[in-house]
Chain A
Amino acid sequence: MRRKRSVVTDRDTSALPRTPRARSKTPRPASAAVPRPASTPVTDPTPAVEVDLSVDLAPSRPGALVLRNPLLVASGTFGYGVEYGEVVDVDRLGAICCKGTTLKPRVGNPPPRVTETPAGMLNSIGLQNPGVEAVLEKYADQWVRWQVPVIVNVAGESVEDYVAVARKLDGQPGVAGIELNISCPNVGKGGLQFALDAGAAGEVTRAVRRATDLPLLVKLSPSAADVRAIATAIEDAGADAICAVNTLSGMAIDRHARKPFLGNTYGGLSGPALKPVALRVVYEVAQVVDIPIVAIGGVGSLEDVLDFLMAGACAVQVGTALFADPVLPVRLIDELDEWCATRGIASPREIVGAALPTRRDRPSVKGVEYRP
């Protein structure tokens, strides 16, 4: 496989605020392997007026995926970025993760596909999409014109599928990165099984890593028996970042018709109900990997954002909450900025991992106890 020297995204990143500090000198607080930053004076003693919200989601590829702020929109909830039109100022977002994209077009699952549940919702879209070529043809021109990076969410049924889609995305103008969806519960074959087995997760990540130099994010499932093993395999296979989590499999009943409500019977649970699960996954993964973690699951307020940052994520994605309030991510950016500014915190990076066990604490092994 031909390796490229640099990442070709055709995106002008010069306009983006770059991290003032040299990457190598910034300890990764999310990591248990690297000493925590408590000893390093990252905070200016005087309260900072300017808050630096930028985050680098691919530190080993300098400049390739530096977001202006840590608020992303989650795959499947924001289409291809164009649907909300003038309602949302997309260029304010940290990044957009587009709808799951496959090699061939997919018609998706039979309707109904969504229903509300206590503190959440179920969806069984089944990865409906026109296929990677049509997606690029339809939307890439628009993506190039935006400042906001667009990360293409990639799904498949086999390692070959994932690799083929990644090859087509490689070097395409407007594509800022790849989010490997190895955790979709709504497709029969493939999908989820890659996220449940460390060997398979490592294999698909490594194969895609070889196929492209684009920043590579891999999205975890909350259903894995031990997310730490999966996350470690993904990091070892060369991923730039880990996204956690996708939806949890669930179902609903149509009592009137006495049958499952969703056309596909099963659907993925998202929304506030998923948040504690996502928080647990982020907290566990943050203790075993050094690469950045992007948290997903029930983010709906500044408090949720702070919780995820403290659990070890350096950015968050907003999904289901967009449906009630499409402008929420933009508001959260401002709220996070203000929260930091009033506390003299120069960057949200300073609180990343603040709630993780310190090195002197015993390593967290509690997780093993509650698992079936």
Chain B
Amino acid sequence: MRLFDAELLHGREILPGQWLQGYRAPWLATGAAPGQFVHVRTPDWSGLVLRRPFSLNTIDRITGEVTIHFRVTGKGTDLLARMHPGDSVGMLGPLGRGFEIDPRSRHLLLIAGGLGMAGVRCLVDEAIATGRQVVVVFGAATAAEVYPSSLLPDEVEYVVATDDGSLGHHGRVTDLVTGYEAWADQAFACGPEPMLAALARLARGRDGRLGVARLGRKGGVRAAPLGSAQARRASWLQVSMEQTMGCAVGACLGCVVMGVEGPQRVCREGPVFAPDEIAWPESA
């Protein structure tokens, strides 16, 4: 974790109201892992008192460029979107705990709802670089909001669902996931909370549907403690959660989500969690 300035290299609107920006941040690029995030400070004159957290969308260790992908939802993101190449912003990062990829996993399933693409996008490059196969399942309200396939490497299998059926599967991403649950060694998801809750339920039933027997649990082998890297790696599904933040370093307790063992800080224990760490709302 460090404070540094990052220079905007390029930025464009990839979807209505959604921006993709590349920053020169060599230190971040060498130290960050997929799933981690940065806390970005808008210019001093903006009068905004809080930084804005963004997932690292892509990390290029060679050129030292990182990208972020965000929707303009208010003053802070509006100011960021209006920046020009050459302008700098203050960043604090890398922050949080990233995804845990099991070295033995060959097939990775990435599940993204809308802007959740920014949360899992980084894994695509990581997986390809390490010779793994990747399927990205993406859900949006309508075709106009579907993440452009041109922004994904050719090696990726890209499957789309829209709520209105205007592109791809007519329905929810969760409908598509069952088709890949046997194929995927691990699944990583980011998106709206109801989607993550539905996926968590789906993941709980997976072992049963596939007839997988977990051996060695009852005997001497003790399961890794909840929230540990081992436990997350052993979980078929990992989810990246969002919450409004203050400090982003674990000091203010502003960013919690409710976990089964009490409040969990998205900025410190997260943003990536195993679904059984989270106390999902009953209705979801």
- For window 158-208 of B, CB contacts with A under 8 Å fall at none
State which of B30-38, B55-63, B101-109, B250-258 sits at the interface with chain A: B250-258
Q: How far is A34 from B151 in the complex, measured between Cα atoms in Å?
A: 72
- Among B3, B243, B252, B268, contact of A323 (Cβ-Cβ < 8 Å): B252
State which of A12-20, A74-82, A207-215, A288-296 sits at the interface with chain B: A74-82
- Among A99, A108, A327, contact of B256 (Cβ-Cβ < 8 Å): A108
User: B49 touching A85 by the CB < 8 A rule?
Assistant: no
- Among A78, A120, A121, chain B packs the most CB atoms within 10 A around the CB of A121
User: B254 touching A114 by the CB < 8 A rule?
Assistant: yes
- Residues on B with C-beta less than 8 A from A123 are 246, 252, 254
- Residues on B with C-beta less than 8 A from A79 are 247, 249-253
User: A112 touching B244 by the CB < 8 A rule?
Assistant: yes
Q: How far is A125 from B257 in the complex, measured between Cα atoms in Å?
A: 12
User: A107 touching B263 by the CB < 8 A rule?
Assistant: yes
A116-B49 in contact given A123-B252, A324-B41 (Cβ < 8 Å):
yes
- For window 40-86 of B, CB contacts with A under 8 Å fall at 41, 47-51, 76
Residue in B closest to A119 when the chains form the complex, CB atoms:
B47
Q: How far is A119 from B3 in the complex, measured between Cα atoms in Å?
A: 23
Residue in B closest to A123 when the chains form the complex, CB atoms:
B254
Q: How far is A327 from B255 in the complex, measured between Cα atoms in Å?
A: 21
Does residue A44 face the partner (Cβ distance < 8 Å to B)? no
Does residue A128 face the partner (Cβ distance < 8 Å to B)? yes
- For window 75-117 of A, CB contacts with B under 8 Å fall at 76-79, 83-87, 99, 107-108, 110-116
Residue in A closest to B266 when the chains form the complex, CB atoms:
A111
**Chain A: minimal CB distance from B195 (Å):** 17
Chain B interface main SS type: loop
A125-B1 in contact given A116-B49, A120-B49, A272-B49 (Cβ < 8 Å):
no
For the side of the interface on B, what is the size category?
20 to 34
User: B251 touching A78 by the CB < 8 A rule?
Assistant: yes
Q: How far is A66 from B123 in the complex, measured between Cα atoms in Å?
A: 51
**Chain A: minimal CB distance from B208 (Å):** 31
Does residue A148 face the partner (Cβ distance < 8 Å to B)? no
- Among B48, B243, B249, B262, contact of A116 (Cβ-Cβ < 8 Å): B48
A86-B1 in contact given A114-B254, A128-B263, A326-B92 (Cβ < 8 Å):
yes
Does residue B2 face the partner (Cβ distance < 8 Å to A)? yes
- Among B1, B92, B246, B248, contact of A121 (Cβ-Cβ < 8 Å): B246
Q: Which residues of A contact B (CB under 8 A)?
A: 76-79, 83-87, 99, 107-108, 110-116, 119-121, 123, 125, 128, 271-272, 320-327
Closest 6 CB pairs of A and B: A79-B251, A114-B254, A83-B251, A83-B250, A271-B49, A116-B50
Q: Which residues of B contact A (CB under 8 A)?
A: 1-3, 41, 47-51, 76, 90, 92, 243-258, 262-263, 268
Q: List 27 A-B contacts (CB under 8 A).
A: A77-B252, A79-B250, A79-B251, A79-B253, A83-B247, A83-B249, A84-B247, A84-B251, A86-B2, A87-B1, A87-B2, A87-B92, A108-B263, A113-B254, A113-B255, A114-B244, A114-B255, A119-B47, A121-B246, A128-B253, A271-B49, A323-B247, A324-B49, A324-B50, A326-B92, A326-B247, A327-B3
Inter-chain pairs besides A78-B251, A79-B249, 17 sampled, C-beta below 8 Å: A79-B252, A79-B253, A84-B247, A84-B249, A87-B2, A87-B92, A99-B251, A99-B253, A111-B256, A111-B258, A112-B243, A114-B246, A123-B252, A125-B252, A128-B263, A323-B246, A324-B41
